[in-house]
Amino acid sequence: MSIEEKYNIRYFNNKRCYKYDLSNEIMVLQDTIPYLFEYNGIQIFEHAWNRLTVKLLEALDSINPIPVEQLLLLEYSWSKTPVFTREKRVNYSAFKDIYVNTNHTATHAGMNIQLLLETYGVDPKECNFYIRRHPSAEPPEAREYYRKETEIAFRKFLSQKGKSEKSIDITVGNFNVINKYLAQGSTGFDDFFLFDDYWYFTNYKIKTLDYVNAKYNGTKNQKATQKCLELLDEFYKHRDFYTCFYNLDISEEFRDTLIKEIEFLFKNLKSNIISTSKLYARMSMLHSEEMENLGELNNQSDFYTLVELLLSDDYYFQKPFISNDPDLSLENDDILMNYAFSLEEFSSKTIRDYANKMHLKPLHSFVDFMETCSEYYVQIDADKMVSKEHMDIDNNVLEKIKKELSYYLKSFGTIDTSNYADYSSLPSLSFAWNKYLLIGIVRTYFSDEFVVKSSGGSFKTAEYTVEEQ
């Protein structure tokens, strides 16, 4: 029996989630967060217990409404405290014109969800509920399995970087001590090889380095910890990429083709700097079969990482640019783009402030700038973009969004953001739906299926239409 079958593990965006039985008489949910709830067409992706409770309540009540007066009579059998109140209390959240207890511990939140399911006549066995466990709350056998998996992949990564076997052993061995530093600031996370979420990792990496810098400043411990965590950071940031890369058979001919096309672009554009998007477009047009052989890495973002990995000894790289000049002197807008690509998110003010600080010219068009960045970033507001990695939208959610948009377009022909009001049919994301997020999602994820057209004007006044390709 596989580890997934034994412990009811399912992967969402390569993150492991455990199926949890909501019919359990004794709820044990310490050091867990919710991930996905499914029942009778209801699908809720939510990672906070209080928000899940409210969204679940809203969904259940929309199917089988219960009068407010009846809800106000509900009490917890174990404490006799009310589930709903008319007045705002600590750990209570708004629902309709009353408030529902959303609790302050994971276990009590789970018990609360059980009670709500019972109240609305839902059999918990008909529900699919997936949770994320902090490493300390994972079964020992699963911990060991995933730790070993990460260690093996990390060793491959270090070997790819040219590290000797002895150096690799020392680096991996150092984490026996570094994990003790990690545990100083966390009870749920106690092993750096058990992270499967890059943003969680970076958060605890910073906390660990803060602890080490304060206690061991200037010592070998501090330097070794920083170096090891930087290597692990690079590995985790591109782990999905390396997993695919190790399964590819990259030929010398493909590498030579890349060099030939890069040199062609340098000569043709009369420049010593090119953007990866130009190289990607040319390779896709002239060498489509070789590009298709890249599989999941056949996209602009991973293509940049691939080219940098294969040709780091031949060229100089600053995402998303390639140069044959070690000084890599960028033009005005290129410098601003390079800065934007170093951030998790940016806005027009972020770029404007940086331009002022560096004595650069302001962008001619922030609308064009956002469109250029849309392969790597998602527009979420009139003048704000967030990286795809930070958005971390599950593939199932993206598929549902695409289906809803396709259905609307087949029914009405065009989506016009000036009057589109069907956001409630779209699955909830970590950002509230608005016309800019809608356009951002389409541009970044569905550019092969849909076409976005702008009415023109500034980023604050433009309206958009979406049509099928």
Categorize the per-residue pLDDT at 206 as very low, low, confident or very high, splitting at 50, 70 and 90.
Answer: very high
pLDDT at position 243: 86
Backbone φ, ψ for residue 290 (5° rounding): -65, -40
179-199 tens-digit pLDDT: 999 999 888 999 999 999 998
pLDDT at position 392: 84
Provide mean pLDDT across the span 345-363.
Answer: 89
Reduced DSSP (H G I as helix, E B as strand, rest coil) percent helix, strand, coil of the chain, to 5: 50, 15, 35
Provide mean pLDDT across the span 126-132.
Answer: 96
446-469 tens-digit pLDDT: 988 999 888 776 667 778 899 988
Indicate if the pLDDT at residue 141 is higher than 90: yes
Percent of the chain's residues with pLDDT above 70: 99
In this structure, of 102-106, 215-219, 253-257, the range with the lowest mean pLDDT score is: 102-106
Whole-number Å distance between alpha carbons of 370 and 347: 9
The one-character DSSP state at 162 is T
pLDDT at position 457: 66
210-224 tens-digit pLDDT: 999 999 988 999 999
Domain positions in the chain are 3-133, 138-245, 249-329, 332-469
Q: What angle do CA 43, 45, 50 make, to 5 degrees?
A: 110
Indicate if the pLDDT at residue 104 is higher than 80: no
Q: Which of 126-140, 232-246, 299-313, 372-386 has the highest mean pLDDT?
A: 126-140
Q: What is the rounded average pLDDT for all residues in the chain?
A: 91
Whole-number Å distance between alpha carbons of 276 and 120: 54
Residue carrying the six token digits 């749920």: 188
pTM for the model stands at: 0.76
pLDDT at position 60: 95
Provide mean pLDDT across the span 419-441.
Answer: 89
Whole-number Å distance between alpha carbons of 146 and 17: 13
CB-based contacts of 278-282 (< 8 A; 24+ apart in sequence):
279/303, 279/307, 279/322
In this structure, of 132-136, 214-218, 227-231, the range with the lowest mean pLDDT score is: 214-218
- Find, among 296, 289, 310, 197, the residue nearest to 241 by Cα: 296
Q: Which residues, at least 6 apart from 144, have a Cβ–Cβ distance to it below 8 Å?
A: none
